[in-house]
Every structure is written in structure tokens, then in C-alpha cells.
Structure 1
């Protein structure tokens, strides 16, 4: 139940210290797609601030932001978030994943409650 889940999250201090950064799961990073930069995109890697050259392969995160592979890999070794929008990639940190899922449940629960109260 949700109450038991919340007790577990609270008792185990899931996610470690507040604001602690956790690496993205290795399996997720390996599975990220490589896309070719098309002409006219004029995209810039927000990590190194350099233009992404046409015809080069870059990394595309699930949120569709693009980065040079050499820039995003060190980032994802330390953090599980997109540098642009903070989209969260899964981690190998079990407690961090429980915390992340709990936050999703709470958010969805609030939305369901709001919809129920409007009836």
C-alpha cells in the first residue's frame, strides 16, 4: 500500500542526502541512441557550448535534447539528469529509484484527488 511505501521511503532515507547526485544506470547510458546532426539544425551542446557539426553523431536523451558524446558521458557518470531540462534517467541506486517513484506516485495521487474533488 501507499502508506507502507511511504514508511519505507522515510525509514530508509531513500535517495541519500538531500540534493545528492547519482549516476545514470550504465545499461540506460549504453542504450542511448546516436543520431546524426542534420543540416540547418544549428544546435549547440549546452555542456561545451560548441556547435554540433552536420553529419556528426551525437547522443539523444529520452527528452530529445542532443549532446556531444564526449560531453554527456562524463555528465551521466555523475548525474542522472538532462543538463537542459533535468529529465531523470533511471539509476542503479535502489533507494534513489524508490524515492523517484514515490515522488511520481505522490504527484499522480494529487492530480487524481484534484479531479475527484472537482466532480
Structure 2
């Protein structure tokens, strides 16, 4: 992306991604358990991932993880820490954030994180 991305554009993109992920999650849950989906709609969206009945649905785990990412990014935005690597605090570029508004780490820390998660440490 060659043009300058404004802070307002990043915020709108992040909010749109959050809305989309939440909508998709509710749609999937509605197909699995309509009563639970209706119950969840009575809970603030930023508390959905901690809703105890969801643990009975392991197939929702990838979407729950996506919601956790978006909740973390929204929290960072509110705290004024959006766009900083959560590990080393390096500044992420606006282009990186445009491509993935929920991005939490710089490239170096992301590689370290994945190696640690998948046990691929190379000596």
C-alpha cells in the first residue's frame, strides 16, 4: 500500500474487523445452539470469550481465539498502545496494521512466538 494510512482509517478498519468477527461468531453459534446465541447477545461483546457455556463447544475455539485477538487490539487502542509489539514494544507500520488490524507482534517477535508455541526451537 503506497498511500499514507490515517489513524482514523486504522480505527475504522479495526472496528469493522471486530464487528465482522463478532457477527460470524454469532452466526456460527446460532447454527450450533440458537438458545446459547440468544443468551450471548445479552452479554457485552468484550465478555463473550469468557462466557462459561462456550467451553462445551470446542469447534468454536478458532473463532474464540480470533475474538480474543480483536478484543486485545481494541483494548490496546483504548489505552493508546495500539500498533506496538506486545513483546518488545517496537512500532508496527500502518501498512502491517492495515493488512492485519489485530496484529500483536513485530516480525521478529512473531517468529519467536510461533517457534515457542510449536516447539520448533533450533539450536
| Same fold flag (TM > 0.5) | no
Greater helix share, structure number: 2
Greater strand share, structure number: 1
Structure showing greater Rg: 1
With the length of structure 1 as denominator, give the TM-score of the two structures. 0.30
With the length of structure 2 as denominator, give the TM-score of the two structures. 0.29
Q: Greater RCO between the two (CA within 8 Å, min separation 6)?
A: 1
